[in-house]
């Protein structure tokens, strides 16, 4: 049985899993759960993901897991990939966990909120709060100033090797960039962030899933 991803092709969290599947060359099939039709709130879906959000995966041996970052860690651990340092290399693993935590506390919280106000709410015909979008854009800019200092000393967020912590930024980073928020590509203000963003966003894995997750993998 091929690994199945239950998600939505353009969903940021589904593509967070997609980019990791592509990095690891794991064949997969996308089973579309329609967000516009609210299928993620159906009783059948809630049996697998009780919070009613995509994605979850069913691995080739029937094992199920949800939460995009947990799925990514599970898959990288299964493959023994260097994208996830092993706890046996304690110092490297610690820096990876630090970087993964930085992404959730200092990036995702703001970028997801900007996307909610500027992309998701308008798409659903809901009014958005421009003050929140503005405030969170300013907050994210300040956090990325700190990223620039970190990335002036090392190539990636956890050290000199790319890890899942870098890849976790791709879906929301690409979304805010696409709507014209020039925080990641501004070479004059944040040259090291711009170098890092260009590096991770040009990876083949991301190029394959950046617009949507295909129904089946290309391997």
Positions that interact with ligand GSH (CB under 6 A): 11-13, 35, 40, 52-54, 67-69
Distance of closest approach, residue 150 Cβ to ligand GSH, in angstroms: 23
Q: How far is the CB of 93 from ligand GSH (least distance, A)?
A: 21
Nearer to ligand GSH, 7 or 159 (CB): 7
- What distance in Å separates the CA atoms of residue 102 and residue 88, rounded to the nearest whole number? 22
- State the nearest-atom distance from the C-beta of 99 to ligand GSH, in Å: 17
Enter the tokens of residue 36.
């516009």
CB nearer to ligand GSH: give 100 or 194.
100
Shortest distance (Å) from residue 108 CB to ligand GSH: 9
Closest CA relative to residue 144, chosen from 101, 102, 114: 102
The residue (of 40 and 159) whose beta carbon lies closer to ligand GSH is 40
Nearer to ligand GSH, 54 or 183 (CB): 54
**Spatial separation of the C-alpha atoms in residues 50 and 45, rounded to whole Å:** 8
At its nearest, how many Å lie between ligand GSH and the CB of residue 11?
4
Largest distance between two CA atoms of the chain? 50
Return d(Cα 15, Cα 211) in angstroms, integer: 9
**Which of helix, strand or coil describes residue 191?**
helix
Which residue, 40 or 113, is less far from ligand GSH as judged by CB?
40
CA angle 14, 199, 82 (to 5 degrees): 65
């Amino acid at each position: 049985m091929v690994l199945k991803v239950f998600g939505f092709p353009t969903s940021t969290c589904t593509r967070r899993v997609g980019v990791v599947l592509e990095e690891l060359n794991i064949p997969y099939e996308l089973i579309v759960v329609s967000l516009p039709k609210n299928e993620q709130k159906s009783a059948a879906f809630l049996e697998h993901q009780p919070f009613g959000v995509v994605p979850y995966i069913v691995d080739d041996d029937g094992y199920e897991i949800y939460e995009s970052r947990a799925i990514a860690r599970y898959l990288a651990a299964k493959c023994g990939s260097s994208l996830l340092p092993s706890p046996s290399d304690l110092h490297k693993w610690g820096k990876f966990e630090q970087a993964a935590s930085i992404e959730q506390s200092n990036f995702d919280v703001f970028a997801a909120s900007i996307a909610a106000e500027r992309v998701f709410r308008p798409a659903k015909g809901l009014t958005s709060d421009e003050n929140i979008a503005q405030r969170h854009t300013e907050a994210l800019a300040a956090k990325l100033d700190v990223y620039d200092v970190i990335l002036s000393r090392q190539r990636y967020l956890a050290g000199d090797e790319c890890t899942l912590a870098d890849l976790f930024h791709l879906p929301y980073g690409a979304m805010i960039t696409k709507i014209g928020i020039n925080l990641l590509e501004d070479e004059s203000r944040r040259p090291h962030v711009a170098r890092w963003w260009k590096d991770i966003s040009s990876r083949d894995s991301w190029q394959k899933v950046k617009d949507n997750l295909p129904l089946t993998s290309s391997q």
